[in-house]
A and B are shown apart, each in its own frame.
Chain A
């Protein structure tokens, strides 16, 4: 016995930390990485054996201990979510992988699905085992054809190898997994809308409560997680909860796939520990901006944009710090907006996106966003703005915000309100003089 406990090692909050190495993304882009032999050569389907040896309740405890939070955007504690399932009710349970990656600026899951499908399959077997679910669905957005094909092929491989089906690896656990392709609707990323879509209905979000863990797919207990979350579960079962909890900040633990798009030297997906700064992602990993920037969208288009300042660049990318800076970590999809581009035009693009994707169920979104907000922006960017337009947009936003059925309308207000807050002068110019401060320019060029 020693008198003092050893000082716990400092958590890893930079990918430059020599203790860090990518795991989720370690095999993406390698030859044949999507095949079962490749996956097994690299330690695949060992974590699931560990899960079976631990027992289902211990798996949930392990995930709780790891501090994993949902990687789809909301950041809800995964282990806690899993424990909401009525574990001993004897009913059929479902788990669903939300692979409807549709948030503009997010493109991490596509590579995980197409390049490392077995990592996801294994994560879903583990999760199904923990939550006593015998069927899982992977809801892949309709446009991800290639990913769906790779996923199906991997599922067939896994079935052939006895990794899916009856009595997996002699554990007594039965689990079937299917791919369900979407068909082009952003709202399917909302978990209850996704369940409706999976049931062959229009993808309108459902009332909560009942929550999916009580009555989800086909009215039965269901848990939905993001692709990255299930993959992270595989890695947690591989390397242990402590390893995962050793990365990130106090409340945001583990590694995360960050995506960066916009005019930077090396756009793409980077696996970094949570708590890594924007600056490290943008400059060290993505090679820095190619021109002068003015705004950062930190986590997919619905996260309020932040101004391009040193203090923002030095903000750690974890759920709490980004929230404190006035935005959200979201899916970790970082987009940079150049100084020379009109922010109103950029916001108009996103408003149009949300207007197009509104499901039409509730009034504020259908009328407020889809019918009115889109036309207010169209009016501004086509040089027909009038004094008072910006004030009207703000008041409409006040009547929309927090009033809609699901979060889609609020998601639209993210870029609207943040762009007005940080770049009001560009709005005022369009509303006052009908001329943008930053006129349109040519951007299409060969890579």
Chain B
């Protein structure tokens, strides 16, 4: 259909909202209540436009105006401006924005005056200043002055809704984004308006917002009413260096922006990736970052004669390693790495292992089987049945849970335009009807459990077998759901994959082909899928990281098993972990926020990491650290830097990660390496995310201990760390 915006004709698909028509035509209207991934509301009344449409005569011809050839269809204008976010554009519609309409310009200026009526204008002390939608729009569309000669509304200015989110009720402009977000996205009715009319404010009666996905409201709040309490008063928006990158806390790989100031990581906000996390991230990903700028190792440490670890230069550390490994057959050196290392780092490590002919090579955590993903996150969101087996998504892949909930409310993904995701997709509605009967959860209780229409308590480890051969009515119902669905997706979690073998993979393949289900097996670590393509598992005669104590000597990168190798032990980590404290030489590492590289998420999407401006002294990523290790061992370094590692990767697995774009790209590796693995229980919040110097983060400690709201299965102490 053709729509005319301020005289510019644009061709748009039917169903487009007027606000998206305006933006498609390169125009602009201010808006506060509309949000890309939430239902259009029409509450803030800022996006007013004048609009009119042609009408048809009873004979089907257009009512015309003008004479002869100059005649054009007469446009019947609405008598008053309309909210463009809740109005559907129609064929031949004409729209005037403030650019061409005095009426609209005045209406918007007047509305801005109302919006600012009770707003405190404490911008100089507001964390939102400089990145505030209200501030920006007030400059663009406001009168520049208020005629409201009365005292403004006074309300609570420092009201913590949880340890992570703080509310300033005076600043709230009642756009309802946060309330709609909780109801529509994580499906939690935990925040709502209280009172009515001019007295309306938002509050929770739940004793605090639940940890999980609460931080997203700080992103979508168009003013400084809801703020990230972790980043509170840490910097002004124009002072931050913004680095778009990928979160590697779990295998979802959400798009994030890391905000650093003066070399400190102060804040993480969600980035948009329509294919992965839309615009949402989990609370761990958002708030679990203070460790990155606290108590970092900034120089190598070498153990002296007195047995104390003392700061040293890299050269001294290389010398110490050289000395410590003297006489050790190179093939006896264990090489172990955390599963959030990048593909490039993995390629460098694999190449060094090859060069040393090392046997004891491993990454952690990983499963004993590799099940290639056949479903994407978009497939999950648009499925008509999802069966979750033995997964605790809140710990393993939180945003996957959001995509499943999206499926429950109909899997309506907002349309995409040249100007980006639709600002107001009119198919999204408030309080959407949900289809719990489309979701089955088999395993233990979890947050998702409450949303599922089919719930089967099962020991995760035999869940797959039981689903393949259903032995109860409940399981038969789940099978019927799978069999009857057109686009089913099976999701397997750690409980289902723990100890799984090749026969399980065969069983799954059979079940998938019988039911037509696509599959996502949640990888054990953030980049386990990618690292599985590299020969980073114990080789013939080699030991895994679970048997570290038996390995004669080891280089351990960003793993914290809490023990040392049998002999000389080199630890490469960001902090002085328990393991590092036992090491002979400690090399400072960078966090994934500081890396350039590539990871592969649970759906097989290659996603880029970009380095944020965080001070970490002489810390180095694994590639450069391996160069130092190679020097100490007297062998040729596998790669001298990122470029070299990319070349290695190209050579070993045939993928050019230099070309991976921001949104990422799906990729299937031709070959994967598997080996038996030690059991592992995934945990999202880890000890290392605990902040040392701020008391609010005491609560994170509770999360780590499993004491607060996150359901964490009691688990025996496991070797290895994870982050």
CA distance A358 to B200 in the complex (A): 10
B111 touches A364 (CB 8 A): yes
Contact of B45 among A360, A374, A405 (CB under 8 A): A405
Contact of A372 among B48, B148, B174 (CB under 8 A): B148
B200 touches A375 (CB 8 A): no
A366 touches B80 (CB 8 A): no
Stretch at the interface among B36-44, B158-166, B358-366, B529-537: B36-44
CA distance A395 to B107 in the complex (A): 11
A358 touches B43 (CB 8 A): no
CA distance A364 to B116 in the complex (A): 11
Contact of B114 among A207, A355, A364, A398 (CB under 8 A): A364
Interface residue count on the B side (C-beta < 8 Å) = 41
**What is the chain A residue whose CB lies nearest that of B111?**
A363
Query: A422 on the interface (CB 8 Å rule)?
Result: no
CA distance A400 to B148 in the complex (A): 15
Which residues in A have their C-beta under 8 angstroms from that of B107?
Answer: 399, 403
A403 touches B81 (CB 8 A): yes
Query: A370 on the interface (CB 8 Å rule)?
Result: yes
Query: A392 on the interface (CB 8 Å rule)?
Result: yes
Which residues in B have their C-beta under 8 angstroms from that of A395?
Answer: 110
Which residues in A have their C-beta under 8 angstroms from that of B153?
Answer: 371
Which B103-119 residues have a C-beta within 8 angstroms of A?
Answer: 106-107, 110-111, 113-115, 117-118
Which B243-276 residues have a C-beta within 8 angstroms of A?
Answer: none
Contact of B43 among A362, A371, A372 (CB under 8 A): A362
B117 touches A372 (CB 8 A): yes
B197 touches A366 (CB 8 A): yes
Which residues in A have their C-beta under 8 angstroms from that of B430?
Answer: 206-207
Contact of A207 among B79, B86, B176 (CB under 8 A): B86
Which residues in B have their C-beta under 8 angstroms from that of A367?
Answer: 114-115, 117-118, 198
B86 touches A363 (CB 8 A): no
Distance to closest chain B CB from A195 (angstroms): 12
Query: B694 on the interface (CB 8 Å rule)?
Result: no
Which A344-394 residues have a C-beta within 8 angstroms of B?
Answer: 355-368, 370-372, 374-375, 379, 392
Best-surrounded residue of B40, B42, B86, B193 (most CB of chain A within 10 A): B42
A202 touches B110 (CB 8 A): no
A360 touches B193 (CB 8 A): yes
Which residues in A have their C-beta under 8 angstroms from that of B81?
Answer: 402-403
B197 touches A359 (CB 8 A): yes
Which B33-69 residues have a C-beta within 8 angstroms of A?
Answer: 40-46, 48
Which residues in B have their C-beta under 8 angstroms from that of A371?
Answer: 117-118, 153, 198
Query: A102 on the interface (CB 8 Å rule)?
Result: no
CA distance A361 to B41 in the complex (A): 9
Q: B-facing mask of A2-28, CB < 8 A → 1, else 0?
A: 000000000000000000000000000
B111 touches A355 (CB 8 A): no
Q: A-facing mask of B186-205, CB < 8 A → 1, else 0?
A: 00000011011111100000
Distance to closest chain B CB from A70 (angstroms): 22
**What is the chain B residue whose CB lies nearest that of A354?**
B197
Distance to closest chain A CB from B587 (angstroms): 57
B113 touches A185 (CB 8 A): no
Query: A219 on the interface (CB 8 Å rule)?
Result: yes
Which residues in B have their C-beta under 8 angstroms from that of A403?
Answer: 45, 48, 80-81, 107, 110-111
Query: A404 on the interface (CB 8 Å rule)?
Result: yes
Q: A-facing mask of B69-86, CB < 8 A → 1, else 0?
A: 000000000011101001
CA distance A206 to B111 in the complex (A): 21
- Chain A's interface: helix, strand, loop or mixed, by majority? helix
Which residues in A have their C-beta under 8 angstroms from that of B148?
Answer: 372
B196 touches A355 (CB 8 A): no
A360 touches B80 (CB 8 A): no
Q: A-facing mask of B86-116, CB < 8 A → 1, else 0?
A: 1000000000000000000011001101110
Query: B238 on the interface (CB 8 Å rule)?
Result: no
Best-surrounded residue of A370, A395, A403, A404 (most CB of chain B within 10 A): A403
A185 touches B196 (CB 8 A): yes
Query: B671 on the interface (CB 8 Å rule)?
Result: no
B433 touches A219 (CB 8 A): yes
- Chain B's interface: helix, strand, loop or mixed, by majority? loop
Which residues in B have their C-beta under 8 angstroms from that of A368?
Answer: 114, 117
B40 touches A207 (CB 8 A): yes
Q: A207-B86, A367-B118 are in contact. Are A402 and B79 (CB under 8 A)?
A: yes
Interface residue count on the A side (C-beta < 8 Å) = 37
B198 touches A360 (CB 8 A): yes
B198 touches A364 (CB 8 A): no
Contact of A363 among B44, B150, B192, B193 (CB under 8 A): B44
**What is the chain A residue whose CB lies nearest that of B192?**
A202
Which residues in A have their C-beta under 8 angstroms from that of B118?
Answer: 367, 371
Distance to closest chain B CB from A413 (angstroms): 12
Distance to closest chain B CB from A361 (angstroms): 5
Best-surrounded residue of A201, A206, A363, A405 (most CB of chain B within 10 A): A363
CA distance A355 to B40 in the complex (A): 25
CA distance A399 to B429 in the complex (A): 28
CA distance A362 to B83 in the complex (A): 11
**What is the chain A residue whose CB lies nearest that of B107?**
A403
CA distance A357 to B198 in the complex (A): 10
Which residues in A have their C-beta under 8 angstroms from that of B110?
Answer: 395-396, 398-400, 403
Q: A207-B40, A398-B110 are in contact. Are A366 and B147 (CB under 8 A)?
A: no
Q: A185-B196, A399-B106 are in contact. Are A364 and B45 (CB under 8 A)?
A: yes
Which residues in A have their C-beta under 8 angstroms from that of B198?
Answer: 355, 358, 360, 366-367, 370-371, 374
Which residues in A have their C-beta under 8 angstroms from that of B45?
Answer: 362-364, 403-405
Which residues in A have their C-beta under 8 angstroms from that of B176?
Answer: 361
A360 touches B197 (CB 8 A): yes
Contact of B113 among A202, A357, A370, A399 (CB under 8 A): A399
B150 touches A375 (CB 8 A): yes
Distance to closest chain A CB from B15 (angstroms): 12
Which residues in B have their C-beta under 8 angstroms from that of A359?
Answer: 196-197
Which residues in B have their C-beta under 8 angstroms from that of A401?
Answer: 80
Distance to closest chain A CB from B691 (angstroms): 38
Which residues in B have their C-beta under 8 angstroms from that of A358?
Answer: 196-198
Which residues in B have their C-beta under 8 angstroms from that of A405?
Answer: 42-43, 45, 83
CA distance A202 to B194 in the complex (A): 9
CA distance A265 to B193 in the complex (A): 46
B115 touches A360 (CB 8 A): no
**What is the chain B residue whose CB lies nearest that of A398?**
B110
**What is the chain B residue whose CB lies nearest that of A406?**
B42
CA distance A405 to B44 in the complex (A): 9
B115 touches A402 (CB 8 A): no
B197 touches A356 (CB 8 A): yes
**What is the chain B residue whose CB lies nearest that of A208?**
B86
**What is the chain A residue whose CB lies nearest that of B176?**
A361
Which B458-495 residues have a C-beta within 8 angstroms of A?
Answer: none
CA distance A378 to B176 in the complex (A): 29
Distance to closest chain A CB from B453 (angstroms): 18
**What is the chain A residue whose CB lies nearest that of B46?**
A363
Q: A402-B79, A403-B48 are in contact. Are A362 and B42 (CB under 8 A)?
A: yes
**What is the chain B residue whose CB lies nearest that of A370?**
B198
Which residues in B have their C-beta under 8 angstroms from that of A207?
Answer: 40-42, 86, 429-430
CA distance A426 to B177 in the complex (A): 43
Which residues in B have their C-beta under 8 angstroms from that of A360?
Answer: 174, 193, 195-200
CA distance A368 to B147 in the complex (A): 12
Which residues in A have their C-beta under 8 angstroms from that of B46?
Answer: 363
**What is the chain B residue whose CB lies nearest that of A201?**
B431
Instruction: Supply 10 A–B pairs (Cβ within 8 Å), ascending by A.
Output: A357-B197, A360-B174, A362-B45, A363-B45, A371-B117, A371-B118, A371-B153, A372-B148, A379-B150, A405-B43
Chain B contacts to A: CB under 8 angstroms: 40-46, 48, 79-81, 83, 86, 106-107, 110-111, 113-115, 117-118, 147-148, 150, 153, 173-174, 176, 192-193, 195-200, 429-431, 433
The 9 lowest CB-CB distance pairs between A and B, nearest first, are A399-B110, A402-B80, A370-B198, A360-B200, A358-B197, A367-B114, A370-B197, A371-B198, A367-B117
Apart from A185-B196, A402-B81: 7 A-B pairs, beta carbons within 8 A? A360-B197, A361-B43, A361-B174, A363-B173, A372-B117, A392-B147, A403-B107
